[in-house]
Structure 1
Amino acid sequence: MATHELLLDPTGAAEGAQESTLSPRPVTLSGLTIGLLDNTKPNATLLLEEIGTLLTGRHGAAETRLYTKDYFGTPAKSELIAQIADECDVVVTAVGDCGSCSAATVADGILLERAGVPTVSITSDSFLMSGRAMAHVQGFAGFDFHAVRHPMASLSAQEVHERALEALPNVLRILGVED
């Protein structure tokens, strides 16, 4: 007989975590500022910059702004979330390529959505379940995020570029923008 276990949020951020409505999606990225939230994992900056370049070059985004959080294994601090929400129209956050960083990357996306900013969180496919578990704990079980092929940390610049190209359709889909 199956038993149910209570999931506890290891980040301590479950308080007020009942809002599960996505922020309004843009019709286009033209003229928008794209926030790129780096979780400090190897190749996160490169993946985000590649995606940012694709969004500005192919989809008319005005600019990208790179932000770096303090630690990959916990959600971004509320001050950083507020700054990003104030300065950006949409956000891409990456890269979850371990259990705790995948959960934290998804938590970052949910925090930004709740701050009113459409966000795409990117994990690696090996840690998809950690991201889904965090979305569930945060009261946002349907939170959609993208999972790139694992691994990310050991890739060359060309391989990271290829992962960015593969991710682009899902980034656009999650943001609600036509490709």
Structure 2
Amino acid sequence: MAGREKLLDPTGFDDRATDSTLAPRPASLRGLTIGMLDNTKPNAVLLLQEIAGELQRRCGAGEAILYTKDYFGTPVKEDLLKQVVDECDVVITAVGDCGSCSAATVADGILLERLGVPAVSIVSDSFLVSGAAMAKVQGFPGFEFLAARHPVASLDEDEIRDRMQALMPEVLRVLGVES
């Protein structure tokens, strides 16, 4: 009889931590630097910019810096992750609108949280299962991420703005701040 085979973690985080503690939340976003982690999916940058702009208007957030991942389907690379952590106070990462990119978007948020940076990960509601599976694989099954109504990629600017407005109460709640 054959022995059991070891299942490899396709995320590359075989030695991942199981810390499920959120980074400390800021009392306010006033003057804080907002990181926007783009996963290269269509409309991700526009959604991120709309959210950052709204955080600046509502909460007095400071500069918003855009970072772009190499590939949407894997977690952020170590060097870019370090740069984001060094330069930002909070991060919004988006947009998961397929299975692998949703999982990677959630993994990115968890990585940021574990490094002490509050993060909001946004996937589309059609891929909640992928996001939840990644949170479980990462040892953080209760990680709260947000769902935008699907689709996102095919929307025009006004529709993206509508998605942003729908997400804002939850973005603020996850960041632990009031508008």
Q: Please tell me the TM-score bracket, short chain as reference.
A: over 0.9
1 CA distance for matches of 2:37 and 2:58?
20
Which residue of structure 2 aligns with residue 177 of structure 1? 177
Deviations 1:108-160 (A, max 9, x none): 00011111100000000000010000000000001001000000010011000
- Rg comparison, structure with higher value: 2
2:152 equivalent in structure 1: 152
Provide structure 1 residue ranges, at least 5 long, that are not aligned to the other structure.
1-5
Distance 1:7 1:98, change over 3 A: farther
Aligned position for 1:167? 167
1:143 aligns to 2:151 (yes or no)? no
Match of 1:106 in 2: 106
Aligned to 2:89: 89
Q: State the TM-score, normalized to the length of structure 1.
A: 0.94
Q: Which residue of 2 aligns with 1:128?
A: 128
Residues paired across the two proteins, number: 174
Q: Percent identity?
A: 68
Residues 27 and 153 of structure 1, relative CA distance in 2, 3 Å threshold: same
List, as ranges, runs of 4+ consecutive aligned residues in structure 1 with deviation greater than 2 Å. Answer: 6-9
Cα 1:80/1:158, change in 2 over 3 Å: same
Instruction: State how far apart, in whole Å, the 1-side matches of 2:79 and 2:111 are.
Output: 12
Return the alpha-carbon distance in structure 2 between the equivalents of residues 153 and 174 of structure 1. 24
What's the TM-score, normalizing by structure 2?
Answer: 0.94
**CA distance in structure 2 between the partners assigned to 1:7 and 1:127 by the alignment:** 24
In the other structure, the counterpart of 2:3 is: none
Name whichever of 10-19 and 163-172 sits farther off. 10-19
Q: How does 1:52-91 map to 2 (within 5 A)?
A: 52-91=52-91
**How far did residue 8 of structure 1 move?**
5.6
